[in-house]
Chain A
Amino acid sequence: MNPLASLSHLAAEAPRRALLLLGLMVAVLAVAPVVLDRYLLSVFFLIFWFATVGQAWNVMMGFCGQLSLGHALYVGLGGYIGALLWVKFGISPAIAILPAMAVAMAFGAAIGWLGFRFGIEGVYFALLTIAFAEVTRIGFDNWSFVGGAAGFFIPVSPVASPVNLRGGPVLFYYVALAMMVVAFVVCALLRRSKLGHAWLAVREDAEAARALGIDVFRAKMAAVVVSSAMTAVAGVVYAFYQNNLFPSQTFDIARSIEMILAPIIGGLGTLFGPILGAFILTPLGQVLIALVEKIAGRAIPGVNLVFYGAALMVIIWYAPNGVWPWLKKKLGIPEGRE
């Protein structure tokens, strides 16, 4: 189906009330930088960023039921490729997202092939994804061309250049916001597509899906490849936001875990879940960090993560489907629609 027609169809299907609310929210976010200070801009950047990578991860786990715990791998690959091409060859990150996506997709395909071909599933597959992220981390740690463990740095440019992702917090606010919206639209379209239905079928019952003539292996591979490509784009943006890359941080398991919190808390397999989760978790975490710093007089690392861990346990205990399905009911959006 023509994606544009599909999109208008999507819009027509949603209740008017919800659509109005959504449009209002995007409009508010679009003008918000006028009143936001530097700190709040950085918080919103993190919200949008985590919503984007959460959306990407959700394609694999939420749609297709494949648990990945190594998504930091794609963030790191994207980041390093974007940074390398810019610093060493002067290639704009606007172009570099293409090779970044390609390399991430190749890695994703390799992991997927190894996993799905040999019937490695569930936690076994999750371990495989961690293993690949770890091996890549060690590789980058020992690769002197990219700075090794000492890190790789993107020089701060005195002139703002939005196309090259050189600029202040307002630029990154809009870039991340755009990324979140695009990721949402892409996922919305994908979920309505034939592939999206194949994913859901594989998630619910792979054997039954096979019986219906769905190529399970191909559906799973498509999920990994789409997810890794989306994550790599977010990785490029994050590298230029941070201006530095360290293998021990970029490819860290803790990063991979942090990336999956928002979709789980918001609602696995839903389109609004990753966004909602990011809007709940990131500000709460930031408030907690600031609060503890005020009370203790110094920053205590790990506070926000202890809170995230507790939030994860509470959610999975009481509402394993996440916050969005509950909120959806409150908003009066009928079952089976989003």
Chain B
Amino acid sequence: MLWSLYANVLVQGVLTGLVYGLMALGLSVIFGVVRVVNFAHGEFAVVGMYAAFILFRSFGIDPFLSMLPIALAFFVIGYGLQRTLINPFVSRPEHEQFILLVGVAIILVNGTLMIFGPDARSANLPYSFDSWDIGPVIVDKVRVYAAIAALAVSGLLFAFFRFTDTGVAIRACADNLTGAAVVGLDVKKLYALTFGLGLACVGAAGALMVTLTDATPMIAPAYTLLAFTIVIIGGMGSMTGAIVGGLLIGVAEALASVLIAPSMKTMASFGLLVLVLALRPQGLLGKRA
């Protein structure tokens, strides 16, 4: 029946979209606070995928478990990266920041290419092909787990920014940098924390992605593009926007790949992007024009 097909596609799109949302959340948080576009975002996601893949293949650690140490490692990397490499560029022109991060991206993607080669690697969890039948809707177990995990990490991040002093301080930096510096906040440290948190998101998202799709170095620029598209659709710097954008793109991709052709899923997200850029350039939930 047709409507059951739609229901299946919708559920799959929403579940995948939540993982996309987590990935985009990292980009959005970094941009919202540090005002730097992390052009190496998808490359970091792929490194996260390979990390989870290796941990699973060599030590049998389930990606849903290894996402925690991976997120932690990515946090440390992000913190260090902001402290050393990116901080001097915060006040430099936009295109110089961009070139710096393109350099990082090129090194990451070709580094993984040199180490792992161009072949696609799949994690093949023991329950990769298990699914639940809920009425006419068939849902993959891994996809549900991945969505729940993504939701949990996103929720943690939201709670951090809402309820902890450090989170509030970071938001203060984003709202009014001069004011934050005047009241004595250590802006450099808060920036580094933010970059670390952004990378932790993308590391966790990468670990989750490896349960849903194969890892290959060549997918990295597409993920950067995906995260960027989601963030622009949702609104640059808006955390809720990133999740909403992720859901929209997840559903749009799923619909396009079933209704038109699998290769058309990228077309769907770019269609959405062009539409949003033309009608509401600040994004669905963005504040500034």
Footprint of B on A, CB under 8 Å? 61, 67, 114, 118-120, 122-124, 126-128, 130-131, 134-135, 138, 141-142, 253-254, 257, 264, 268, 300-303, 305-306, 308-313, 316-317, 320
Contacts and interface: CB of A to CB of B under 8 A. Distances in A.
6 contacts: A124-B232, A141-B263, A301-B110, A302-B217, A312-B102, A320-B96
Main SS at interface, chain B: helix
Contacts of A130: 225
Given A130-B225, A131-B225, A135-B270, A118 B100 contact: no
Interface stretch (B150-158, B183-191, B273-281): B273-281
A134 B94 CA distance: 23
Contacts of A119: 281
A142 B110 CA distance: 28
B37 to A, nearest CB: 5
Interface in B216-240: 217, 221-222, 225, 228-229, 232
B274 A114 contact: yes
A301 to B, nearest CB: 6
B267 interface: yes
Nearest to B269: A131
B113 interface: yes
The interface residues of chain A, by DSSP majority, are classed as: helix
Contact of A317 (B100, B110, B114, B221): B100
Interface in B95-129: 95-96, 98-100, 102-107, 109-111, 113-114, 118
B99 A316 contact: yes
B50 to A, nearest CB: 14
A304 to B, nearest CB: 8
Given A119-B281, A138-B267, A312 B95 contact: no
B114 A131 contact: no
Interface string B139-173: 00000000000000000000000000000000000
A311 B107 CA distance: 10
Nearest to A309: B106
A206 B105 CA distance: 30
Interface in B185-227: 217, 221-222, 225
A131 B88 CA distance: 30
List the 4 shortest-distance A-B pairs measured between CB atoms, nearest first.
Answer: A309-B106, A302-B110, A313-B103, A312-B103
B287 interface: no
B288 interface: no
Interface in B242-289: 261, 263-264, 266-267, 270, 273-274, 277-278, 281
Contacts of B264: 138, 142
Contacts of B277: 114, 118, 120, 124, 128
B99 A123 contact: no
Given A254-B221, A302-B114, 6 more contacts: A119-B281, A124-B232, A127-B228, A128-B277, A135-B267, A302-B109
Nearest to A119: B281
Residue in A130, A131, A142, A305 with the greatest tally of chain B CB atoms within 10 Å:
A131
A264 B114 CA distance: 25
B98 A127 contact: no
A141 B217 CA distance: 20
A118 B107 CA distance: 34
A138 B270 CA distance: 11
B267 A306 contact: no
Contact of A135 (B102, B118, B266): B266
Contacts of A142: 261, 263-264
